[in-house]
């Protein structure tokens, strides 16, 4: 027990050192409460936790955030429209492949990728919670993702660029909790539509979600940028809240997506 307590102390010291140096986004965004900047790691007694897991989890969340926040895609808002709880095992196969391949759709001059590479990236996200099934993906008119079984690769086309003021979801991390075999991330979510003519966007309307049934408020842009701090200060209590659970796989540094649940 003494050695475990010592390792816990070392972890906390390491976290403080990292944060003192400015922090890497994976640690800063996952471990800090946005409002009061308090480290929200709890239940660390008797837990053997590898900090590298945070980088893996942050990578998965980043992939979900961009892939399911593209209004040109048929999977726009997928995580927030799948009911109160979505298990990894029930994930739509096309949506899962789209989230896995999406970074290549927008950041690569190449227009094909080997199935083996996609499989490796897929399993890094979902682990054993969802089986990899390569297939063509119907992701909307502007995305064409075709799987060639004979060649063992995916080919694809995608839009040339994205509008910086396109409608979409904004996600803010609120806290991180550690349990014996899980990392639980709490996040606040709201939906934004920008107002103004092309080249002269001046404000944004804030809604709870994309169905726009509830307008939370209107925020003026500052230096052409939406201030998350201002939005949080005014409307934080009105946002929907989601909890992501990541489960440990075969090692302390290997955590895969397990579920997302609407908790408010």
pLDDT at residue 25 tops 60 = no
pLDDT at residue 245 tops 60 = yes
Of all residues in the chain, the percent with pLDDT exceeding 70 is: 77
Q: Answer with the residue of higher pLDDT: 199 or 204.
A: 204
> String of b and e for 193-220 (b: at least 16 CB within 10 Å)?
bbeeeeeebeebbbbbbbeeeeebeebe
pLDDT tens-digit series, residues 106-121: 766 668 899 999 999 9
pLDDT at residue 75 tops 70 = yes
Q: Where are the domains of the chain?
A: 2-67+164-262, 78-157
Q: Give the per-residue pLDDT at 249.
A: 84
Predicted TM-score (pTM) of the model is: 0.80
Of all residues in the chain, the percent with pLDDT exceeding 90 is: 51
Q: Give the per-residue pLDDT at 44.
A: 44
pLDDT at residue 252 tops 70 = no
Q: Answer with the residue of higher pLDDT: 2 or 167.
A: 167
Whether the Cβ atoms of residue 91 and residue 133 lie closer than 8 Å to each other: no
Whether the Cβ atoms of residue 134 and residue 151 lie closer than 8 Å to each other: no
Whether the Cβ atoms of residue 71 and residue 111 lie closer than 8 Å to each other: no
């Amino acid at each position: 027990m003494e050695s475990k307590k010592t390792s816990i102390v070392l972890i906390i010291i390491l976290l403080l050192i990292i944060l003192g140096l400015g922090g890497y986004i994976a640690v800063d965004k996952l471990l800090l409460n946005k409002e009061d900047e308090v480290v929200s790691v709890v239940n660390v007694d008797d837990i053997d936790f590898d900090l590298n897991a945070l980088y893996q989890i942050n990578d998965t969340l980043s992939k979900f955030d961009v892939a399911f926040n593209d209004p040109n895609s048929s999977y726009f808002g997928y995580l927030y429209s799948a009911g109160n709880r979505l298990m990894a095992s029930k994930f739509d196969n096309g949506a899962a492949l789209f989230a896995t391949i999406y970074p290549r759709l927008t950041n690569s001059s190449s227009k094909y990728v080997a199935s083996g590479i996609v499989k490796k990236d897929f399993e890094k996200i979902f682990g054993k919670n969802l089986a990899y099934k390569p297939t063509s993906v119907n992701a909307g008119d502007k995305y064409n993702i075709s799987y060639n079984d004979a060649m063992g690769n995916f080919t694809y086309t995608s839009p040339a660029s994205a509008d910086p003021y396109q409608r979409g979801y904004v996600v803010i991390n609120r806290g991180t909790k550690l349990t014996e075999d899980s990392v639980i991330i709490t996040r606040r979510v709201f939906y934004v539509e920008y107002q103004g003519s092309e080249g002269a966007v001046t404000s944004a309307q804030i809604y709870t979600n994309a169905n726009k049934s509830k307008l939370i408020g209107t925020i003026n842009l500052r230096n052409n940028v939406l201030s998350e701090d201002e939005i949080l200060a005014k409307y934080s209590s009105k946002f929907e809240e989601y909890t992501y659970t990541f489960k440990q796989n075969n090692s302390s540094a290997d955590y895969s997506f397990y579920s997302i649940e609407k908790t408010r």
